Structure 1
């Protein structure tokens, strides 16, 4: 009875995760606390889940990645590869991205290369951005540190008292998977649309300008006194006065004759400005004025803006910037921008003030697509030392000379002492939500196993694939994990699938290693839908993609990925 109730509660958790109305962190924490209050897990086990050694290793890896992603080497390498025929450019870019993602956090790799790919003029960015995201996933499945999902599964392995996954255990099947899928990706990339991300077009669609004429009754009065706040469908973004730009515009700003007022929002709402005497309209010609202080950014998954409107967060005060336009995939968001609920992956076109770059919350909320870099790049010497230090940590961990956790701890300390990484940056970018999700997921996974709920699902898989023995259960666990990874986050998929895979292996009395590794591969096999993976959301809007674009290219990649994974894992890691 308990197993059935736990399984039903997991079903509710899945529905809430799929709906996207509640963030994963509070959901997993609520379930973990609920299981504790119901007596399904004790206090020591609950608290111990948040201090798991593999989880601590993941946190350290993410923190040192903050320095690694600032290396200018990434920009230089990618810029030299984006020439020639699109198919070969995709092959070169994908190969580079996969190699980098094998050792660096794939979100950081895509974040570092996104702007370079979007700004280059050789090939339409829409032909390259989906391959960039997919290649980061493919590189991530080749090593233990390639993606957070692998380290999450390793934390479950350690928690279960099994031998931990070693640095290159995943490479035996991961390298063939990556090579095969990159070739397929280069061939199928021609199915992607070939449109450029044209900032000029976005500005013209979203900006309206009007000049305060000589003798206008508006002159000599503030914005508040002229009732220019709260206009229907329009927002006063900037004022150009005698060659100087005033941005953002405060309510106490006094208008002068000759001022050029720049409005953003629904340009076709110009009728709402007819009430103001002494304004002269010039159509949508403000792009030359705005080009000097335009920045295009993508909202990242951990941003505090998600599921909130610009008005709710007081965007202008928070970032010293006004939002000129919002794009979600290929869709230009209409209506009053202040009332639009922001989602992860949205592309925002910002007109920024002088203090924009000084705001310390930028890199936690955005990835830069165009404009001046948000964070300063490392110098050539800092870049060489930082990359060499990280390579040494990986080498020492592989050779068994120094545990990965200890190496990363020493490396992080060196970055802090040298000033390459600051305590303020660590505090701002510390992955609190990820710690809560994974720590709580460990508790949920423990309850799934201890209550017998995981065994129920494993029995169901055996029934569905009856007649095929352990191979059928193996394929069933993979397909279940793949399905979960497409509809919820990859870490959530790993958390829910791991105890089921372990239960299936124990039911057949076989080595659990192939089942554990297939959960790793299955949890990263999200190529069909953009909403289940962080890097897919990062490229969704800059590439102006439709969901169908991911399906069109992702289907052959997913099929190739699955076939190679299902064949190679049991070959290198037999069931007996």
Structure 2
């Protein structure tokens, strides 16, 4: 009975994660709390998972990365990678991002290149951004610190075996898999769409919502008479009136009080609205915004704005900026901007005030695409010391001279002492949700094993692949992890798949290492849809992509990647 209750609860957790209606941290913590209340895990076991040494190492690595992502190195590289022929530039960009992602947070790598790619006009950004995101994944699978997924798997391995995985243990399979997959990715990149700045798709990227204020001279007059049909660079798309949409808008349509006029076109032509008295742009007079700078950003995966509307969070007061346009991929967002629930990866065009750059929560919420605003960077000496310190920590850990946790802790202390990082910055950017997810997932894994749920799933895998041996079960565990990572987040996929893979290895009486690696490589195999991986969401809107663009490139990449993993892993890590 308990076994089935655990299985049903895990199925419910998966359903919630797939629906996207509940934040993963809330779902994992709630289920872990329920297991605690019903005695499936005890208090000491639950608390021990949140202090897992491998999990603590991951937290330290992410905090140190805050300094690494502010070094001028990434910006310097981004300005020099896109020279030469488009194919050569794409290959150079992919190779560089993969090498950097093997040691740095791949989110920081993609964020650093994202702005430079979006601003340049020589190569269509849509031809570069998916290869950038995929290459960062391929680089991440080659080392222990290359992706948080590998460190999550390391946390589970430590919990079950008492031993941690080596720094370059992933490289034995990861490097050849990355090289094989690179060729296919470079070939399929040529099938991506061209969305140049002058394309119509680019011009129709944003939608401006303006309100007709009481007493406006526009009220009671037709669209034609008000001169709203022949605007410079803007087009009146629809009118929202009393909860209904009027679209298309005819020239004889009479404007009424509190109408919301939705324009599309070149947002840089927003000045064309200045001559219409009584029009408010997102709740503020158009004149007040025209004197400010336009900045384009992408909502980050750490942002507190995800799931909120602009009105809910009082965006203007929070950032001293007004949103004049929202873009999500190539999808047209209807209705008032202030009432649209925001998502990770949405592009916002903001008119910012003079002290915008002084706001301390910018890095947590946004990745910069364009505009005069520049993120603060380390000085040359600070950058050299930070990079030298990080390189030393990785080298000492790889040589087994200093545990990675000890090295990162010392480096973090040095960064704080040198004022490269501040305690306030660490508090703002601490990956609290990721810590909750992984700690709770470790507790769920304990409950799955102690209740027999993991063994029941293992029996299911054995039944499906009965008569085909341990290799077939290994393939089954890998495919299960890939399916999970395409439908939920990569870290959640690793957390849910690991106990099943571990139990399967135990049931067959073989070395668990190939099954551990199957989970690690499978959890990073998110190539088909943009919603399961944070770097895909980062490039989704700036590239004006559709889901079919990811499928067009991702399907052959995923098949090649999977075939290479399934062939090479058992050769390097025998059963």
CA gap of 1:41–1:321, structure 2 versus 1, over 3 A, is: same
Q: Structure 1: which 5+ residue stretches go unaligned? A: 211-222, 229-261
Measure the CA separation in 2 of the matches of 1:517 and 1:196.
Answer: 41
User: In the alignment, which residue of structure 2 is the partner of 1:214?
Assistant: none
Q: Residues 291-370 of structure 1: matches in 2 within 5 Å?
A: 293-370=293-370
Unmatched segments (≥5 aa) in structure 2: 218-231, 240-248, 273-288
Task: Give the secondary structure class of the aligned counterpart of 1:559.
Answer: helix
Verify: 1:528 aligned to 2:512, yes or no.
no
Shift in alpha-carbon separation, 1:298–1:199, aligned structure 2, 3 A: farther
Decide whether the 8 Å contact of 1:323 with 1:350 is kept in 2: yes
Alignment match of 1:286 (pick from 253, 270, 278): 270
Q: Give the CA deviation at 1:84.
A: 2.6
Work out the CA distance in 1 between the residues paired with 2:257 and 2:456. Answer: 68
Closer, same or farther: CA 518–557 of 1 in aligned 2, 3 Å = same
Q: Structure 1 residue 292: deviation in Å?
A: 6.4
Seen in structure 2, the aligned counterparts of structure 1 residues 525 and 555 have a Cα distance that, compared at 3 Å, is: same
CA contact (8 A) 2:293 2:353 kept: yes
Aligned to 1:471: 471
Distance change (3 Å), C-alpha of 1:29 and 1:14: same
Q: Which residue of 1 aligns with 2:227?
A: none
For 1:438 and 1:488, the matched residues in 2 are separated by 14
Distance 1:106 1:324 in 2: 30
- Whether contact under 8 Å (2:295, 2:373) holds in the other structure is no
Q: How far apart in 2 are the matches of 1:202 and 1:409?
A: 48
Equivalent residue, structure 1, for 2:385: 385
Q: CA deviation at 1:372?
A: 3.2
Alignment CA distance shift 1:205-1:129 (3 Å): closer
Q: How far does the alpha carbon of each residue in 1:487-535 deviate from its partner, in whole angstroms, 9 at most, with x for none? A: 0000100010000000010011001011101100000000001000000
The question of whether the paired residues in 2 share the 8 Å contact of 1:208 and 1:267 is answered with no
What pairs with 1:507-526 in structure 2 (closer than 5 Å)?
Answer: 507-526=507-526
Q: Secondary structure at the match of 1:341?
A: coil
Q: What is the CA–CA distance in structure 1 between the aligned matches of 2:471 and 2:210, rounded to whole Å?
A: 66
Q: How many residues align?
A: 526
Counterpart of 1:407 in structure 2 is 407
Q: Say which SS state the counterpart of residue 160 (structure 1) adopts.
A: helix
Aligned to 2:161, the other structure's residue is in SS state coil
Q: Does 1:394 align with 2:402?
A: no
Paired with 1:126 and 1:365, the residues of 2 have a C-alpha distance of 23
The reply to whether residue 13 of structure 1 matches residue 9 of structure 2 is no
Equivalent positions of 1:257-296 (< 5 A) are 268-269=238-239, 285-286=269-270, 293-296=293-296
Distance in 2 of aligned mates of 1:463 and 1:194:
48
Are positions 1:165 and 2:165 aligned together?
A: yes
Tell me, in whole angstroms, the C-alpha distance in 2 between the residues paired with 1:204 and 1:506. 53
Q: Give 3-state SS (helix, strand or coil) of 2:79's partner.
A: helix
Structure 2 counterparts to residues 110-125 of structure 1, below 5 A:
110-125=110-125
**Matches of 1:536 and 1:199, distance apart in 2:** 23
In 2 relative to 1, CA 292–425 (structure 1 residues): closer, same or farther, beyond 3 Å? same
CA contact (8 A) 1:202 1:325 kept: no
Counterpart of 1:88 in structure 2 is 88
For the residues of structure 2 that align with 1:61 and 1:35, how far apart are their CA atoms? 30
Q: Please tell me whether the aligned partners of residues 205 and 327 of structure 2 are also in contact (alpha carbons under 8 angstroms).
A: no
Residues 374 and 84 (structure 1 numbering): CA distance in 2 closer, same or farther, change over 3 Å?
A: closer
**3-state SS of paired residue (1:323):** strand
Structure 1 residues 116 and 177: CA distance shift in structure 2, 3 A: same
Separation (CA, whole Å) in 1 of partners of 2:16 and 2:204: 37
CA contact (8 A) 1:208 1:286 kept: no
Report matched runs for 1:32-181 at 5 Å.
32-181=32-181
Q: 2: CA distance between counterparts of 1:266 and 1:57? A: 53
In the TM superposition, residue 182 of structure 1 has moved relative to its aligned partner by 1.3
Post-superposition CA distance 1:205-231 (Å, at most 9, x none): 645899xxxxxxxxxxxx998589xxx
Quickly say closer, same or farther: Cα 1:384–1:290, change in 2 above 3 A: farther
Confirm or deny that 1:371 pairs with 2:371.
yes
1:203 touches 1:287 (CA, 8 Å); kept in 2? Answer: no
- Contact 1:206–1:265 at 8 Å: present in 2 too? no
Contact residue 209 and residue 337 of structure 2 kept, 8 A: no
Look up the match of 2:421. Answer: 421
Residues 388-409 of structure 1, C-alpha deviations (whole Å, 9 max, x = no match): 1101100000111111001000
Q: CA deviation at 1:428?
A: 0.6
Deviation for aligned residue 1:272: 8.0
Shift in Å at residue 177 of structure 1? 1.1
The alignment partner of 1:81 has SS state of coil
Residue pairs, 1:203-222, within 5 angstroms: 206-207=207-208
Cα pair distance change 1:448/1:101, threshold 3 Å = same
> What's the offset of the Cα at 1:460?
1.1
**Alpha carbons of structure 1 residues 344 and 512: separation in structure 2 relative to 1, 3 Å:** same
Match of 2:547 in 1: 547
